[in-house]
């Protein structure tokens, strides 16, 4: 049976590899810390399986990349794609603050449990527990600010991919960013508010896939599974 959605453009969400703070669980927003050696190997391993001619992420099918300016994301880009492939991407790469990690404000560098304890000490959250997805961060970003910058990226992607819903031209897009912001991006892609309860996981160095149903730019979808031999055709 033919794949009814074959040829539909895809958006690949790539989380940077492990850092010391992803290991410890500390909030890492504006802090610019490097990948660990294990983090670099995570990305290299993902690249070996996922990236290449005829693989899921086929460089010849990529028309645009959006990359966070944090060095953990930039290093992930370097490890994911060889120098020759990166050279072929000239003019296709946008390094943008719109997909940098959530600004955690007062919570930068601390654990979620410490953030909650600090809020309690300051007399907050008396009526209900704090939820970053709906309440945001003190002296940091709130969900409305996250929504605004992610929607700008989504609008650009829809403009790129909209005319080619049936595979008339390869227009896959890659985002290389961070765990929290990519999960927020997936919510906005599907049309949900940032604060909607939609538990998702994205491990360091891992790849998520978004696309569209019925070759329709107005029907964005989450691709629950992909064939490891799928060429996107």
Domain boundaries, the chain: 11-222
Q: What is the pLDDT of residue 233?
A: 43
Distance CA 22, CA 73 (A): 13
Q: What is the pLDDT of residue 7?
A: 87
Which is nearest to 9 in space by CA: 229, 176, 213, 186? 213
pLDDT tens, residue by residue, 203-223: 999 999 999 999 999 999 998
What CATH code is assigned to 11-222?
Answer: 3.40.50.1240
Distance CA 208, CA 140 (A): 26
The per-residue b/e assignment along 85-118, b for 16 or more CB within 10 angstroms, e otherwise, is: ebeebeeebebbebbbbbbbbebbbeeeeebeee
Binding residues for substrate: 28-29, 72, 101-104
Is 16 catalytic? The answer is yes
Distance CA 17, CA 22 (A): 9
Distance CA 16, CA 216 (A): 30
Q: Which of 18, 40, 101, 141 is catalytic?
A: 101
Q: What percent of the chain has pLDDT over 70?
A: 94
Helix (H, G, I), strand (E, B) or coil at 27: coil
Q: What is the pLDDT of residue 227?
A: 63
Mean pLDDT for the chain overall: 94
pLDDT tens, residue by residue, 1-55: 345 566 899 999 999 999 999 999 999 999 999 999 999 999 999 999 999 999 9
> Residue 222 pairs with which residues in a beta bridge?
210
Q: What is the pLDDT of residue 224?
A: 78
The dihedrals phi and psi of 92, each to the nearest 5 degrees, come to: -105, -5
Q: Which of 16, 18, 40, 141 is catalytic?
A: 16
Is 178 catalytic? The answer is no
Alpha helices by DSSP H, 71-222:
71-80, 83-88, 112-121, 132-135, 143-161, 179-189
pLDDT tens, residue by residue, 64-82: 999 999 999 999 999 999 9
59: how many CB neighbours lie within 10 A of its CB? 18
DSSP structure string for 39-73: HHHHHHHHHHHHBSTTSSB-GGGEEEEEE-SSHHH
């Amino acid at each position: 049976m033919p794949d009814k959605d074959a040829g539909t453009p895809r958006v690949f969400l790539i989380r940077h590899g492990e850092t010391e703070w992803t290991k410890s669980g500390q909030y890492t927003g504006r802090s610019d810390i490097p990948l660990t050696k294990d983090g670099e190997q995570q990305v290299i391993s993902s690249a070996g399986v996922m990236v290449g001619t005829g693989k899921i992420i086929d460089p010849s099918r990529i028309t645009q990349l959006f990359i966070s300016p944090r060095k953990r994301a930039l290093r992930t880009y370097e490890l994911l794609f060889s120098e020759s492939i990166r050279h072929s991407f000239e003019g296709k790469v946008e390094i943008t603050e719109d997909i940098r990690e959530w600004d955690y404000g007062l919570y930068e560098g601390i654990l979620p449990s410490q953030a909650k304890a600090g809020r309690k000490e300051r007399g907050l959250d008396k009526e209900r527990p704090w939820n970053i997805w709906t309440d945001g961060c003190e002296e940091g970003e709130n969900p409305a600010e996250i929504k605004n910058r992610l929607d700008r990226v989504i609008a650009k992607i829809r403009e790129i991919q909209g005319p080619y819903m049936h595979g008339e031209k390869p227009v896959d897009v890659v985002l290389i960013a961070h765990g929290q912001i990519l999960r927020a991006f997936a919510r906005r892609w599907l049309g949900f508010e940032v604060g909607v309860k939609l538990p998702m996981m994205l491990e360091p160095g891992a790849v998520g896939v978004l696309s569209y149903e019925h070759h329709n730019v107005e029907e964005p979808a989450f691709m629950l599974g992909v064939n490891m031999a799928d060429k996107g055709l």
